[in-house]
Structure 1
Amino acid sequence: MSGEELAREIRHEHEMLAALMQRLHEDLTALRSSWASARDDLRAVLDHLRRHFALEEEGEFMEDVVQRWPHAASHVEALRAEHEQLLREAKRLMETGDRAIEGRLMSAWADECLRLLSAIREHDRKENHLIQEVFCLDVGGGD
């Protein structure tokens, strides 16, 4: 896959993930949402999160960042570690979601899901900032 194709694929996955995260957020906060719908949406977010992170890691995207800006290696490794943490938390929530059937357990589970969505958004913000720093670095023209 060429760099341009990889970038398009990552952008597409990012858009799909954002839409699914929004839908899950709405399910978790709206009174009209069904419990089954929220769990199904979390499952879809987890599936797309796996694919999104795999594209970034297996597509050598992160290696390109380090190659262009070696000083970013520690940032890339921190982001990679966050991939594992976010996936682990999403899997845990999938498992506990089946046990959180009613009352306070459901409310606590929904709160944890909302925190996960916030963590994913923060992770995306850090990735986007790093990408802008590396690929859009303006060194000036020296008029």
Structure 2
Amino acid sequence: MKFSHIALAAALTVVGFAGSAHAADDAVMNKCRACHTWEAGKKGKQGPNLFGIVGSAAGSNADFKYNKSSVLPDVGAKGVVWDAALIDEYLQDPTKFLQRVLGDAKAKSKMTFKLKGADKADERAAIIEFLSNNK
């Protein structure tokens, strides 16, 4: 009897992890795919490919032609490397993130999409988890 409880607990744990991985994938699919891709070697529609973004310098995607008005390469030139905390901040308000990092109140992001506030923290976390595992 004890063995079956352990087996059941293990099975539920595996199902739980699979469910959260699926939820992260759904969050990215629904929130990001209009402009981005995260498949190695593919080009984004309007934004850069997000494959392997965690651990890379901001604005450094060699396959994406950043608009002359884009300041993301300037952020990368300052040594900013994407990690979970920075992606979380960026997703809440990309323009405010750029203004803070560059110290320039006129800096603007082309990404107008925002996941602001505590009520969107789970969505941001799911996206970050997906991107962190997408290498």
- Indicate whether the TM-score tops 0.5: no
TM-score (norm 2): 0.29
The structure in which a higher percent of residues are helix is 1
TM-score (norm 1): 0.28
